[in-house]
Amino acid sequence: MIFQCEDLERALQSPELMPDARAHADRCPRCARELYLWEQISQAAPGLHEEWESPGLWPRIRAEIRADIAARPAPSPWFRWGRWALAAAAVMAIALFLLRPWKTTSPGHDFLTDDALKEVQQAEAAYAKSIDKLSAVAGPGLEQSPSPLAAAYREKLLLLDSEIEELKATVASNQYNAYLQAQLASLYREKQKTLQDWLQNAKRN
């Protein structure tokens, strides 16, 4: 193929024509400039990716999700009655299974849940204590730093603390709810991660 200047645009769309285009550009300064600029655009483009810290964004999204869960419309009366009927049947079945009036009961079956709860509470206390230690290390630097990043971290930690307190109050009235316990665990992990992120960030700077 005899490559001419008019073929350049077509070559930019068809990789198989690029070797010819390059050979032509070696002899044609105008096409060489065009080709150079074309490649420069692709090379400069990744530099336009924008990245910035936003430690408060996920806690905001999570709070909105939780609010959404809380604000879900109540099911229709029919559905509610149906659920009550199902729940009543389930309670009856469990009661019959546990009491087994037709048999002598063997002790010790319902202690497993209590043991598990005790284990969770002990682990939670140990975890909270270790986070307190981490807070003591991160605290002075975080409180005194005037940077906007430190302010964002402070805001996030405040949000987390208030969510932890709120959830702890809910858990206290429903201790056997595994889902709530898991949510509380997740909040503690988030707080730990935030403190660690801040400390790493402080170390870098």
Partner 1 sequence: MVGVSQLTLTPGMNIEAFESDADLLAACRRRDVRAFEQVYQAHAPRLKSIAFHMTRNRQDAEDAVQEAFLKLYRAIDGFHGQSAIGTWLCRILINVCYDVQRKRQREADPEENPTPERQVEGEPTLAVALRQALMRINVRHRLVFLLFEVEGMRHSEIASILETPEGTCRAWLFEAKRELKRMLSEVRS
Residues that bind partner 1 (CB under 8 A): 9, 12-13, 34, 37-38, 40-42, 44-52, 54, 57-58, 60-62, 64-66, 68-69, 116, 119-120, 123-124, 126-127, 130-131, 178-179, 181-183, 185-186, 188-189, 192-193
Which amino acid is located at 193 in the chain?
K
Residues sharing a CB contact under 8 Å with residue 181, sequence separation 6 or more, in sequence order:
120, 124, 171
Q: What region, left, alpha or beta, does residue 42 occupy, with left being phi > 0 and alpha being psi -120 to 50 degrees?
A: alpha
Residue 126 or residue 158: which is nearer to partner 1 going by CB? 126
- Min. distance of Cβ 25 from partner 1 in angstroms? 14
DSSP single-letter state for residue 106:
P
- Min. distance of Cβ 20 from partner 1 in angstroms? 18
- Min. distance of Cβ 51 from partner 1 in angstroms? 6
- Min. distance of Cβ 185 from partner 1 in angstroms? 5
Angle at 166 between CA 164 and CA 170, to 5 degrees: 110
What sign does the dihedral 100-106-111-113 (CA atoms) show?
negative
Q: 201: which 2 tokens?
A: 């960030």
Residue 200: other Cβ atoms inside 10 A: 10
* Strand, helix or coil for residue 39: helix
Residue 4 or residue 130: which is nearer to partner 1 going by CB? 130
Contact between residue 154 and residue 142 where contact means Cβ atoms under 8 Å apart = yes
- Min. distance of Cβ 1 from partner 1 in angstroms? 21
- Min. distance of Cβ 199 from partner 1 in angstroms? 13
Residue 4 or residue 175: which is nearer to partner 1 going by CB? 175
Residue 48 or residue 169: which is nearer to partner 1 going by CB? 48
CA–CA separation, 156 and 196 (whole Å): 13
Residue 65 or residue 87: which is nearer to partner 1 going by CB? 65
Name the residue among 112, 125, 92 with its Cα closest to residue 176. Answer: 112
Residue 49 or residue 204: which is nearer to partner 1 going by CB? 49
